[in-house]
Every structure is written in structure tokens, then in C-alpha cells.
Amino acid sequence: MLTLYYAPGTCALASHLALEYAGAPYETVRLNFKEQQQRSAEYLKINPKGRVPALVTERGVLTETPALLQYIAQSFPQAKLAPREDAFLLAKMNEFNSYLCSTVHVNHAHGGRAARWTDDAAAMETMKQKVPQTMGEAFALIESQMLQGPWVLGERFSTSDLYLYTLTRWLQGDSVDVNRFPKVADHFQRMNAQPQVQKVLAAQQG
């Protein structure tokens, strides 16, 4: 049994979706970020970073979305969530996931989490103001260069689709109109319609 620690609205949705698509045996534990449960002594024993997602396995705890996505795909190969047989295509999946993690997520975090990188309230405000621009530029690059269509890797569905869907959900809150990016908007609608996505969203919001 795998146990996923998550909070609604976070990037942990991608790993939650991966577990569902994989048909993995799993349970979830919801953290209340408003009550700072991710900073509790109890949770810091599980993940000293004080972040989600964290996946408790028989061997120990795993963190970081790109690592979790590949691990889940590798552990449940019949679900074909990663092109494991093709080193180049697998690298394209990891390249995409790494871009979302280290650039797109980071851009977004300068809205609500600017205190990670400055102690100055006025500076935080300037960082927040730039988020629509940086998120818009990142999604313009995804639209023009990365999203092959119909899925991120082309005909092959993969963890990158789960992760892209997760971060696309943030655009509205970041004041970026997804319809500026027709391929991304189409991808988002198709993902929204999938029963696994609806099931996981209902579970997170229930």
C-alpha cells in the first residue's frame, strides 16, 4: 500500500492522478495548509522539506513530483504512463516534467510564496505582479514548442499529461487566460473529461 500526502490545489494532484491512472493500491492523507500542517513536527518527520507531495512506500518516503511520476510509472508498467522502452522519449517526458517543476511551478510560486526569496513586502508585491507575464511566457513556450498533440509526447499518453493538466489549473488564479493557448486549452478540456480526473478531483474536494 502506498500513502500519498497532499493538499488540495497543489502540484500533488499530478501524483494523485498518476496513482489513480496506474491502478495502484493507495490511500491519501490530506494536509490542511491553512493550519500549516505541512510544518507540523509530525509531518516534518515524513518530509523534512515541509512540502507536498510525499509518497510513503515500503522502502521509505519519496518526494519531488518528477521523481514520483516516474516511480509510479515504473512500478505499474501495465498502465503505460511512461515510455520506458525508449530512452529518448523517456528523457523527453522527464525534460518536460523538469521544466514544469523548476520553471513553471517556480514562476507560479512567486505569487503566493514570494517570501521564500525575499523578506521585503514591497519586493513581494512586485514579484506577484510579474506572475501573469512569466506564466504566460512559459505556457506560450509549451504551446509552441513542447506540446506535440494530442498529448505532450504526441500519440503517447504519459505522466507529462497529468502534470501539465495540474499546472494548467493554476492559470486562472494567475490571471492568465488559457484560451490564449489553443493546444493547451484543448488538452485541458480532454483531461477534464477523463473519469480518473473527475474521480480524483472529487476525492480531493470531498
Residues of this chain that bind a second copy (CB under 8 A): 48-49, 57, 59-60, 62-68, 70-71, 74-75, 87-88, 90-92, 94-95, 97-99, 101-102, 105-107, 110, 116-120, 122-123, 126-127, 130, 134, 141, 144-145
Looking at the Cβ atoms of 28 and 94, the one nearer to a second copy is 94
Q: CB of 31: closest distance to a second copy in angstroms?
A: 19
For the CB of residue 206, give the shortest distance to a second copy in the complex, in Å.
29
Which C-beta is closer to a second copy: that of 116 or that of 199?
116
Rank residues 117 and 198 by Cβ distance to a second copy and give the closer one.
Answer: 117
Give whichever of 149 and 199 is closer to a second copy, judged by the CB atom.
Answer: 149
**Residue 16 vs 105, nearer CB to a second copy:** 105
Long-range contacts of 189-194 (CB under 8 A, 24+ apart): 190/150, 191/161, 191/162, 191/165, 192/165
Complex with a second copy: residue 84 or 169, whichever CB lies closer? 84
CB 94, min distance to a second copy, A: 4
Least separation, in Å, of the C-beta of 118 and a second copy?
A: 5
Contact present, 54 and 5 (Cβ < 8 Å): yes
Give every CB contact of residue 73 below 8 A, 6+ residues apart in sequence. Answer: 18, 22, 79, 81, 82, 84, 158, 159
The minimum distance between CB 109 and a second copy, in angstroms, equals 9
Please, what's the b/e burial string for 146-184 (b: 16 or more CB within 10 A of its CB; e: otherwise)? Answer: bbeeebbbeebbbbbbbbbbbbbbbbeebebebeebeeb
Q: How far is the CB of 74 from a second copy (least distance, A)?
A: 5
Beta bridge partners of 56: 3, 61
Task: Find cell 500542517 and name the residue.
Answer: 37
